[in-house]
Amino acid sequence: MAKCSFCGINIERGTGKTLAKNDASMLYFCSNKCSKNLLKLKRNPRKIKWTEAHRKLKGKA
């Protein structure tokens, strides 16, 4: 199972979205919400309260 590149949750096989970048790196997204936040809005996951990265930063995970 892959982890979402933005929010950090596990993605079930056959669901979600995968983006292959030109430098051969892969980005995995669980939902359109996560992909828009990272790619279009260019948000930092550590500053968004509902992401796993923010929970780890604040010591709540």
pLDDT tens-digit readout, 16-49: 999 999 999 999 999 999 999 999 999 999 999 9
Set out the domains of the chain in order of their start, with CATH numbers.
2-53 (2.30.170.20)
pTM for the structure as a whole: 0.89
Identify the residue with better confidence: 60 or 38.
38
What separation, in Å, do the N-terminal and C-terminal C-alpha atoms of the chain show?
20
Q: How confident is the model at residue 61 (pLDDT cuts 50, 70, 90)?
A: confident
Amino acid identity, position 60 = K
